[in-house]
Amino acid sequence: MIFTIKNRERQRAENCINSLKDQDCKIIVVDYGSDDLSWYSDVFNGFISVKNNTEHFNKSRAYNIGFRLVTTPYVVFSDIDNIFAPNFIDRLKEEIIKPKTLVLAQNMDLNEQGEVYRLHPKTGYGSIFGIDSEWIRKVKGYDENYTYWGKEDDDMFLRAKEDGYQHVWLEPLIKHQWHENAPRPTLSNNRRYFEQKKPLIRNDKWGEL
């Protein structure tokens, strides 16, 4: 599983990682320009630190950098704000091994008090994106022209669909921790780029440090 992080609180990250510690998965964490990494070695069993020399966070690039370390036949891209049920990985494996299958998941959203207040609608594809690693290599990862975050997950979903993949939604097995909305100053640009017709395979230099 690949997680990206930038300036997130320690407790939030611990909640996520601890929910997976007894489950059968490998975790790759990519930090993209956080100000304070002093607690990382206490929480993460290794991480990649990307020195961000531009003004933009780039979730797509961070995912691609993390993917360069993947050696497993399947990969899941996810969110450090998530808390996973104890049987999450087992259920994921049941679905992801099926031929040409993309696995998505519907979140239970938590409020500021840590209580479930709604079931997130099936309108986004970023909670988890689980698929065979060979397909990620084939399409050369996430499109790094999407800056900050927004629409990169929709883009990947459509590319998989156009390439003949079916998708399945897991039952709600993930709680999403509340946080204030992160800034997305390039969202309008991302939306315009998303509407453009693009080839399936992109990013000749994808995931480079």
pLDDT band for position 90 (cuts 50, 70, 90)? very high
pLDDT digits (tens, 9 = 90+) for 35-80: 889 999 999 988 888 876 566 788 999 999 999 999 999 999 999 9
What pLDDT was estimated at residue 46?
Answer: 84
Token match 């497993």: residue? 72
Give the separation between CA 62 and CA 4, rounded to whole angstroms.
Answer: 6
Pairwise CA distance, residues 66 & 209, whole Å: 10
Share of the chain above pLDDT 70, in %: 96
Residue 174 is encoded by which pair of tokens?
Answer: 């993930």
Strands 74-79 and 48-50, sheet pairing: unpaired
pLDDT average, residue stretch 121-144: 91
pLDDT at 122 over 90: no
Residue 134 is predicted with a pLDDT of 98
- Domain residue spans in the chain? 2-195
Span 85-93, average pLDDT: 97
Beta carbons of 108 and 43 less than 8 angstroms apart: no
Q: With a cut of 80, say whether residue 139 has pLDDT above it.
A: yes
Instruction: Give the least confident one: 20-34, 170-184, 187-201.
Output: 170-184
Q: Which of 32-41, 74-83, 132-141 is the least confident region?
A: 32-41
Say if residues 122 and 169 touch (Cβ distance below 8 Å).
yes
Cα-based distances in Å from 175 to 21, 38, 95, 125, 172 = 16, 26, 20, 15, 8
Q: What angle do CA 47, 48, 50 make, to 5 degrees?
A: 145
Mean pLDDT confidence for 174-188? 82
Helix (H) or strand (E) run with residue 171 in it: strand 166-176
Residue range 153-179: mean pLDDT, rounded: 95
Residue 30 has pLDDT above 70, yes or no: yes
Alpha helix stretches (DSSP H) within the chain: 10-18, 40-43, 59-67, 88-96, 133-139, 152-162, 187-195
Q: Which amino acid is at 191?
A: R
For the 2-195 domain, the top CATH level (class) is: alpha beta
